[in-house]
Amino acid sequence: MVLELVIGGELFERIDFKGRLSEIEGRKLFQQLIDAVGYCHDKGVYHRDLKPENVLLDAKGNIKISDFGLSALPQHVRGDGLLHTTCGSPHYVAPE
């Protein structure tokens, strides 16, 4: 396995070290996150553990999603269209 070196660190570390994002930077990163998650979903990959610690920043400040260890593929989806396993980080998991 070959992985890209992402030297910008985690989004969590960025927020923890420098404080909150400006509105412009937040919008930029959120749009990139939406695009990345949409791409994964279009390919049938469901991350299931998105959190600031799993969003990396490259040298130009663009995001890279990491840690697909809990991800699910289409064969994990049951007949009702849902995944029936609980996983993820409790502070970030959706309540439903």
Q: Which domains does the chain have, with CATH numbers?
A: 11-76 (1.10.510.10)
Side chain identity at residue 70, one-letter code: L
Burial class (CB in 10 A: 0-12, 13-18, 19+), 55: buried
pLDDT in tens, the chain (96 residues): 788 889 999 999 999 999 999 999 999 999 999 999 999 999 988 888 889 999 999 999 999 999 887 777 666 565 655 555 666 666 666 655
Structure tokens at 49: 């553990």
Side chain identity at residue 17, one-letter code: F
CA distance 39 to 14: 24
- As a whole number of Å, the end-to-end CA separation of the chain is 35
User: Residue 49: what pLDDT?
Assistant: 87
Residue 49 annotated in active site: yes
Catalytic residue among 42, 49, 67, 80, which? 49
Provide the whole-model pTM: 0.78
CA distance 30 to 61: 12
